[in-house]
Structure 1
Amino acid sequence: MKVNWRHIPPANNSYAALYAACELAGYRLDPVSEPSGDITCYSLTSISERTYRDEIADADCITIVGGPHASACYSDVAAYADYVIVGEGEYTLPRLISALERGDEIPPGVATKSGYTPADHTVLLDAYPPFTTVFGYTEISRGCPFGCGYCQTPRLFGRCMRHRSIDEIAAATARFRDVRLVTPNAFAYGSDGIHPRFDRVERLLSRLKNRIYFGTFPGEVRPEFVTDRSLELVVQYCANTRLHFGAQSGSDRILRQIRRGHTVDDVLSAVDCCREHALAPTVDFILGLPGEDEEDEIATVDLIQSVTRSGQAHVHYFMPLPGTPLAAAEPHPLLPETQKILGRLALAGKITGSWMEHEIRFFRQSSHV
């Protein structure tokens, strides 16, 4: 059976992980620029879905669709795709391909026009390599205990953190000079995601013999995890001179409302701590969050300007994502003065991102460092 993978650049890391999982099961996912073969697989976000929906509906082969959008909107996607993988795919995708090849019953974790049976498993990261011959970043942790209202991560992967073992991480990264690690919160490695275990973080970093980039894209951190101890580990073991973490808002009221789990003071403390350890902070912000008023927006812009005196801000306009508590919420329109300030900061090279077009965020995120 000929199984292909539709090449979509921002889904490259998903391709690497699923290629490895399918390879273990005896299947090869060949990259293609259009649907072909017996089966073509897709991984879609809520932005890319707009581009590939008609292509999938018109495909002359079996189509299997996964990814964050498909997982959150599986009934909608099943209206034009043959099979929809809901949630994690390492176990379900090879199992589905095998069922199609043998003519067996469709496994749990797959939606069709006829309905959906929830998955009967949770992926153990050590059971699958992060990549094999198709290279990707090394995922070290999955899941997040925080319930940020805008975020799909805990809805896709659960609120219990799972970690890849140090032995498996070391084996996966051994062939590379530079190592970048995928995780919802790099400083949460080895912990429950709420109470840091910096002893385990140090055990991981001391084991790797590469140029390590830790706490920066694609494995940022949370501001309350930025401490003297965590930054001492970065300075001692890592190559990055920046630390990337999320603030999202400069208003404590909005942070509480979106269930972010930290305060503005935590952000300010993290920025100061970075300065003290000669690390430049790169801080994420979301503008236009539902429920914002002018005072909240001004507070966020003030915090952005404060951050950019010693670092950089990464700014985006709120996009409601399916499957999240804020999926039905409308973005708050930005003040004209906010747009002027952001424009000046962008021209000065102080901020990156997009506060106007979500497509810019989607197609550039894979190159952000």
Structure 2
Amino acid sequence: MKVVWRDIRAARNTYAVLYAACRQSGYQLDISGSPDGDVTCYSLNSINEPQFRSEIRDAPGITIVGGPHASACPMEVSRYADYVIVGEGEKTLPRLLDAIRSQSTDPVPGVATREWYTPSDHTVLLDGYPCFLEVKGYLEISRGCPHGCAYCQTPRLFGRRMRHRSIDSIADSAKRVSDARFVTPNALAYGSDGRTPRLDRVESLLKRLSAMNRIWFGTFPSEVRPDWISDPALELVQRYTAGQKIHFGAQSGSDRILTAINRGHTRTDAEEALDLCRSHGFLPIVDMIVGFPGEMAEDLEMTMDLIRSIIRHGKVHLHYFQPLPGTPLAGADPTPLPPDIEKAFGSLALSGKITGYWMEPERRFLSIPRDNEDI
């Protein structure tokens, strides 16, 4: 049985993870630029999902779709895909491939079809699977997040309890690469419950890897929270890593908005994090979101004021709020940006002070082909 992975840029690290999981179960998951073979696997997010609906529906073989969008909207996706994986895929995908190969009609836990959905019967033990094998990716060190931000899919996909890969397991995968870059909801939360730092465990990880890798920690894709940035934390990063940047999410300059989205920190936390980064010689790169539902002119002005403060010594990565399925804010209407604010962001982008996207997705992704047919 020939099984392929549809090459989608946003899902390349997922491919590295599932390639390794499938290899452990005896399946070769080759990459392909189009549907191919007996089974084609996809991982979709809510931005790129419309681009692939027709392709999946018309694919000649069996189609399996997973990823954040499929996990949040399994019955919608099952209208055009043969099978939908809901949640984590390391154990579920090989199980499903076993069922397809044996032509079993029994429901597979963690899988939905047009006819049935059976909830998953497990949570992935990270040490049970390598971060990657021949197909290289990032070192995933943790999953789950206890904070439950209202716009974020992470705790809905992976739970509110943090799970960590052991240092031995991480080091085993790190032997395959020269540069160690990490996937985690909060790099400084490694080894902790996600609410109280365990910097001793962070140091143990960094010390072990520093003997064999250049380490990039606290930068994409292993950002940190502003309320976790401290003198001892930054001293650890300075001691063991190669980077001179710290990437953290402030999200809004308005405490009213931060409370509404259940962010769990204040504007003051972000301002103190900025000062700490600068005092230790790090370039702060700060995630901000505009257009939150209910965002008023005064909230936006406070966000603009914080952005002005950040770009004096750092950079901003800007996003326009998008309601993601499966989150508390799914279906909420973004607040349109005034034209003068959009113009200001454009000027800042031209000067290199901000990156990202600050317009509605309908305008942002006009270049992406979309399938508007009823399925």
The TM-score, its normalising length taken from structure 2, stands at 0.95
> Residue 347 of structure 1: which of 338, 347, 350 is its match?
350
Q: Report how far residue 112 of structure 1 moved.
A: 0.3
- 1:256 aligned counterpart, secondary structure: helix
- The whole-number CA distance in structure 1 between the counterparts of 2:326 and 2:280 is 39
Q: Report how far residue 106 of structure 1 moved.
A: 2.9
List structure 1 runs of 4+ shifted beyond 2 angstroms: 357-362
Q: What do residues 191-239 of structure 1 show as CA deviations (whole Å, max 9, x unaligned)?
A: 0001010010001000012110000001100000000011000110011
Given residue 344 of structure 1, which amino acid in structure 2 is its aligned partner? S
- 2:328 aligned counterpart, secondary structure: coil
Q: Which residue of 2 aligns with 1:367?
A: none
Q: Report how far residue 345 of structure 1 moved.
A: 1.1
Q: Report how far residue 355 of structure 1 moved.
A: 0.6
- The whole-number CA distance in structure 2 between the counterparts of 1:211 and 1:342 is 34
Conserved in 2, the CA contact under 8 Å of 1:312 and 1:351? yes
Q: What do residues 239-263 of structure 1 show as CA deviations (whole Å, max 9, x unaligned)?
A: 1100000010000000000000000
Q: Which residue of 2 aligns with 1:206?
A: 207
1:227 lines up with 2:245 in the alignment:
no
- The whole-number CA distance in structure 2 between the counterparts of 1:248 and 1:327 is 18
Conserved in 1, the CA contact under 8 Å of 2:107 and 2:116? no
1:147 lines up with 2:141 in the alignment:
no
- The whole-number CA distance in structure 2 between the counterparts of 1:177 and 1:101 is 38
- The whole-number CA distance in structure 1 between the counterparts of 2:101 and 2:255 is 54
- The whole-number CA distance in structure 2 between the counterparts of 1:357 and 1:181 is 30
Q: Report how far residue 10 of structure 1 moved.
A: 1.1
Judged with a 3 Å threshold, the aligned counterparts in structure 2 of structure 1 residues 16 and 99 are, in CA distance, closer, same or farther, namely: same
Q: Within 5 A, what are the aligned runs for 1:7-156?
A: 7-104=7-104, 105-156=106-157
Q: Which residue of 1 aligns with 2:368?
A: none
- The whole-number CA distance in structure 1 between the counterparts of 2:250 and 2:364 is 17
- 1:230 aligned counterpart, secondary structure: helix
Given residue 66 of structure 1, which amino acid in structure 2 is its aligned partner? G
Conserved in 1, the CA contact under 8 Å of 2:45 and 2:68? yes
Q: How high is the sequence identity, in percent, across the aligned residues? A: 64
Question: Is there any run of 5+ residues in structure 2 with no aligned partner, and where?
Answer: 366-375
Given residue 150 of structure 1, which amino acid in structure 2 is its aligned partner? Y
Conserved in 1, the CA contact under 8 Å of 2:191 and 2:198? yes
Conserved in 1, the CA contact under 8 Å of 2:290 and 2:321? yes
> Residue 254 of structure 1: which of 252, 257, 276 is its match?
257
Judged with a 3 Å threshold, the aligned counterparts in structure 2 of structure 1 residues 4 and 167 are, in CA distance, closer, same or farther, namely: same
- The whole-number CA distance in structure 2 between the counterparts of 1:360 and 1:25 is 43
Q: Which residue of 2 aligns with 1:297?
A: 300
Conserved in 2, the CA contact under 8 Å of 1:6 and 1:31? yes
1:328 lines up with 2:304 in the alignment:
no
Conserved in 2, the CA contact under 8 Å of 1:96 and 1:106? no
The TM-score, its normalising length taken from structure 1, stands at 0.96
Q: What do residues 83-110 of structure 1 show as CA deviations (whole Å, max 9, x unaligned)?
A: 0000000000000000111122231100
Given residue 201 of structure 1, which amino acid in structure 2 is its aligned partner? V
Given residue 270 of structure 1, which amino acid in structure 2 is its aligned partner? A
Q: Which residue of 2 aligns with 1:162?
A: 163
Q: CA RMSD in A?
A: 1.2
Given residue 305 of structure 1, which amino acid in structure 2 is its aligned partner? R
Q: Which residue of 1 aligns with 2:372?
A: none
Given residue 33 of structure 1, which amino acid in structure 2 is its aligned partner? G
- 1:22 aligned counterpart, secondary structure: helix
Q: Report how far residue 30 of structure 1 moved.
A: 1.0
Decide which moves more: 134-143 or 166-175. 166-175
Given residue 232 of structure 1, which amino acid in structure 2 is its aligned partner? E
Conserved in 1, the CA contact under 8 Å of 2:107 and 2:117? no
Q: Report how far residue 175 of structure 1 moved.
A: 2.9
- 1:272 aligned counterpart, secondary structure: helix
Conserved in 2, the CA contact under 8 Å of 1:66 and 1:87? yes
- The whole-number CA distance in structure 2 between the counterparts of 1:273 and 1:49 is 40
- The whole-number CA distance in structure 2 between the counterparts of 1:335 and 1:356 is 11
Q: How many residues align?
A: 362
- 1:283 aligned counterpart, secondary structure: strand
Q: Which residue of 2 aligns with 1:365?
A: none
Conserved in 2, the CA contact under 8 Å of 1:246 and 1:285? yes
Given residue 111 of structure 2, which amino acid in structure 1 is its aligned partner? V
Judged with a 3 Å threshold, the aligned counterparts in structure 2 of structure 1 residues 316 and 156 are, in CA distance, closer, same or farther, namely: same
- The whole-number CA distance in structure 1 between the counterparts of 2:204 and 2:361 is 39
